[in-house]
Amino acid sequence: MKHPFERKNIRGERLVEFLRAIGEEGVKTEDLYFLCIGTDRSSGDAFGPLVGSWLREAGYRNVTGTLDWPCDADTMEEHLQEIPAGKIVLALDACLGREASSVGLFQVAAEPIEPGKSMGHTLPKVGHFSIAAIVNRNEGQPYRVLQTTSLYLVMTMARELVQAVQTAFPLEAAPGITRPLRFRER
């Protein structure tokens, strides 16, 4: 098997394995900060804000980038300033794959993500670790492709990631947090 932090594409059921490897490096739930990149104005780019919103609903506090305040090209600098010093940043974003067979997979790595790269944006590389949901195939018109990406696929992938986070980095019982966010099984 490849090293757990080598950049690779994995299926959703392997997300827990990747996240647990981060924990095995000594990162605790309270050390981890989720930078959820994307916008609610594009179905294909809504992955990050959906994950951020659902993590918040589940009780995670170290989250920036939600449906009500997305972390996109216009707000990236503000969101980065929210991250307290000393936190380990897990950057989450949607991306487009080169091949149709990669759609639905997650690209994981122990390195920063380059948000907006496929759209031609020059934004800072962010994150100690990164997970990018491959939501569609890059067919040369990334803006159009993201606008016409299946929201169902994006929501399914966001749900998979939130469930993996809850498994690998569970919250300690605290006042006001009674149970993990549960999604209805398909």
Where are the domains positioned within the chain? 8-168
Strand order in 63-64's β-sheet? 8-10, 106-109, 129-137, 88-97, 32-36, 63-64
Work out the percent of the chain whose per-residue pLDDT is above 70. Answer: 89
| Cα 87 to Cα 168: distance, rounded to the nearest angstrom | 17
Residue 1 is predicted with a pLDDT of 38
Burial 69-95 (b: 16+ CB within 10 A, else e): bbbbeeebeebeeeeeeebbbbbbbbb
CATH 3.40.50.1450 fits 8-168, yes or no: yes
For residue 49, which of 33, 60, 41, 37 has the smallest C-alpha distance?
37
Q: Is the pLDDT of residue 120 over 90?
A: no
Q: Please say if the pLDDT value at position 182 is more than 70.
A: no
Query: Crossing angle, helix 15-24 and helix 151-168, to 10 degrees?
Result: 40
Q: How confident is the model at residue 2 (pLDDT cuts 50, 70, 90)?
A: low
Confidence at 181, pLDDT banded by 50, 70, 90? low
pTM of the model: 0.89
